[in-house]
Chains A and B, each alone.
Chain A
Amino acid sequence: MRTREYVTGLAAAVCMMFAACMEDEPFKRPYEGLAPRQLADDWVVSTPEHEHVNRQKLEQVFQIAYREDRFRLLRSVTIVRNGKLVAESYAQDTDDIYRIQNVKSVTKTFTSILTGIALHEKILDSLNQPLSSIFPEYFDAHPDKKGITLRHALTMRTGLYYNDEEHAYKFRFSNNVIDYILASPLNGPPGVRFFYSDDNPTLVSYAIQRKYGRPMADFANEVLFKPLGITDWIWESHNDNISFGGSNMYLKPRDMAKVGQMLLQNGVWKGRRIVDSAWIAEATRLQVPEYGYGYYFWVLEALGVYQASGHGGQSIIVVPSKELVVVVTAWPYMTDTGWLRDNFEGTLLKDVIAACE
């Protein structure tokens, strides 16, 4: 019996030992301040005081974002004022400063920027150009969709039915994604009903690809990423080598901030024009007022803000009146969309804007 008791006791002790070493841990690191790190990149680091930002108010914003559960999957907050980095923090891992991550639907805004560049460079003719004039062969089987224009696609008003839950997976792995998109039924005639989807920007992506001759990601590299000094990026493609138009681009937070700053500077970066200022003005103006939407930009008129916004809590927020750019990243794959818009943009953004004197 002594042996049996010994073995049982040993087993119980082992169980307790291993159970004890598997405890919940906090989502975030302890808050260690908002001072940006000096890296050998294009950013000039400054302080809130030098850029007339109330440090105390800004600290409060960061502390709330670190402390409160609704921001549990926050990864980074980057604040740029007057073209300089004034605050930056990486809540989960300080090495996230070097990591690219999926920016989800922020990608749509990049598609918009690239459309503006393609129009300016006469790669695309006009927003009223029917997509059926760019890739007519796809419309032979879908004649009811021949009236869809670039403008309809840029305002999510193609009328094409889309349901993320039943659609996203097949869409991702389709071998003929344009045909897959166009095979969706119409909710109504093109140009009428707003229906947010990943389909519409992928039609734009393919339009650029057809006219440019290479995937939109290559176009982005030539006309956007290289001029901005963005070297570490990924833009995923569908199986048929068409760049996703609406999601699945990977960037670092500081590079997202570069794009925001370039937009704030009306399309100019380091003295070089990247995007036509008229396009930025048009794309960030309310095109679908009832949904606060421009051309793949969300427009928060009450705050004087426009933004790129992605699932999980990815944002590039531009506040022209305050010379302010705010970039937020979070874990991008969470099902719960509670983060989006109602949290950072709905509450803390107001405090950040208020901190700018």
Chain B
Amino acid sequence: MASHWRHLVTPLIAGNPVTLQILGICSALAVTTSLQTALVMSAALTGVLVMSSAAISLIRHHIPNVIRLIVQIVIIASMVVVIDELLQAFAFAVSRQLSIFVGLIVTNCLVLGRAEAFAMRNPVWPSMLDGLGNGLGYSLVLVIVGSLRELFGQGTLLGVTVLKPVAEGGWFEPFGLMQLAPSGFFVIAALIWIIRAVRVEQVERAEHKVLRTRVPR
């Protein structure tokens, strides 16, 4: 039992799906202009990931190998439909903001990747933990990116004003770039940079060896 916890803990930072495997970047850019959408998206993806991992793992011995991708997609798509309907029922405003990105969880490489790489060859409980761990790892990145972009782009967090903008009599000049898509890249790149500066083992091996030679001046 305890040995299964690594499935949950490893994907948080050490094997984070976004910063290490660079998966799920599209949605991480698209839905992180505010913390609220980032949180909802995180919850939706984590839910889909846990449920689809469980379902796929449960029937993994009965899935014919040649059509396994079709089966996996069908299961994931069903989960996404469920989650989407739930969001529309109970959080209609947010679901409008997220627009098609909840629906696009179907094609999120992260979900299919975990199904293919883990759920297909592991029992249900580890698969669920793995799904949860990866979902939380993804959520962690989304929350960090969403917080930074909302805080510096609008001066608010979850809609509550933290840094008062000039327009409302404060001092803060909203950092317009933060609301643009490239800043999502910048923030994620900076995260990856920081993580790899600390965890040197994540740095890819250099293609060429730089030879440092100096001639006397």
Are both chains from one complex? no
